[in-house]
Amino acid sequence: MSRLERVISTLLGILDSTLDKLVVPGYSRLAVPLRRRWWPADPPPDVLRGKDVVVTGASSGLGKATALGLGRLGARVHLVGRTHSRLDDAAAEIRAAVPEVELVAHARDISDLDDAARLVQAIRDHAPHLHALVHCAGVMPPQRTTTPQGHEVAYATHVLGPHLITWSLRDQLAAAGDARVVIVSSGGMYTQRLRIDDVEYEHGDYKPTAAYARTKRMQVVLAELLAQRFGADTAVHSMHPGWAATPGVTDSLPGFDKVVGPILRSADEGADTIVWLAASPEATLTTGQFWQDRRPRPTHYFPWQGESATDRERLWELVCEATGVGQG
């Protein structure tokens, strides 16, 4: 790289980071056409031909857009959602766009750990070699509710279910040779610290947006911990999609949607980096990073906000105890 190229690269990096620091330019659709000028190349066409990928939350929003993007690249896509009817509708839309796509539907609620275990067995039966596992499933309950196992629903959906599924499928991921796990977090995680003192949100007034952001922070830490334990066998990344126009935003945050609706990203724009991480050969060159718009991002606004090693390991212990997998 020449001196001029290094200078240009540095300036673009500063511009890119500044967009995020200003939040609105970086998280909205305003950043997309600008960042496309310098972000990494698209995955090669048909790069996933004959490969199995799993997408949770595939009935709508980012999950459906991710499944469509991976299907366009040739993948056999396992769609995971809570109801058969919504999965059927999503599958019909995807097939209309990609007639040759191969889809496998799994009606499972990953917040229910028994259902998550049944999903694991179904994936093992269908896909001995699993190229990618993408966790898009998300919820924002209006009040504190619990799963059949007694866990708070946001925590179970965003943390416990993904952990159980990912750890239980580690052999199938390793067998693929170039596998990756993508955990879809949120920029909202920047507003919360890691709360290991109350992972189930049992204390204080339950606030849906706080519960969501807390568990999204946990997802980022969990991805880093999984990456450490998986090593070179499987790349594990977390990411945030920016502000995207999905049912999760429009239904759960109507006030936010009303204010910023005109500059929200489309579901496809929000899913772009998810698809890139799941498909691009470049995504396996590193592991344990937090991404947005095809570039690693800091996990905290300020370096001194990081979690202690003790708190991080305590989160791992709590998650392993609740799911029954990953100990030792």
Tell which residue, 115, 121, 129, has the closest CA to residue 76: 129
Structure tokens at 208: 């849906």
3-state DSSP assignment of residue 130? strand
Task: List residues bridging with 182 in a β-sheet.
Answer: 134, 237
Tell which residue, 219, 235, 225, 45, has the closest CA to residue 131: 235
| Residue 75 C-beta-side C-alpha neighbours within 13 Å | 31
| Residue 40 C-beta-side C-alpha neighbours within 13 Å | 18
Tell me the C-alpha distance between 48 and 64, whole Å.
17
**Burial letters for 298-309: b for 16+ Cβ neighbours within 10 Å, e otherwise?**
ebeeeeeeebee
Task: List residues bridging with 237 in a β-sheet.
Answer: 182
Tell me the C-alpha distance between 50 and 223, whole Å.
26
Tell me the C-alpha distance between 244 and 249, whole Å.
7
Show which residues are catalytic: 212
The whole-angstrom distance between residue 316's C-alpha and the CA centroid of its chain comes to 18
Please report, in angstroms and rounded to a whole number, the separation of the first and last CA atoms in the chain: 45
Tell me the C-alpha distance between 90 and 18, whole Å.
37
| In contact, 244 and 265? CB cutoff 8 Å | yes
3-state DSSP assignment of residue 228? helix
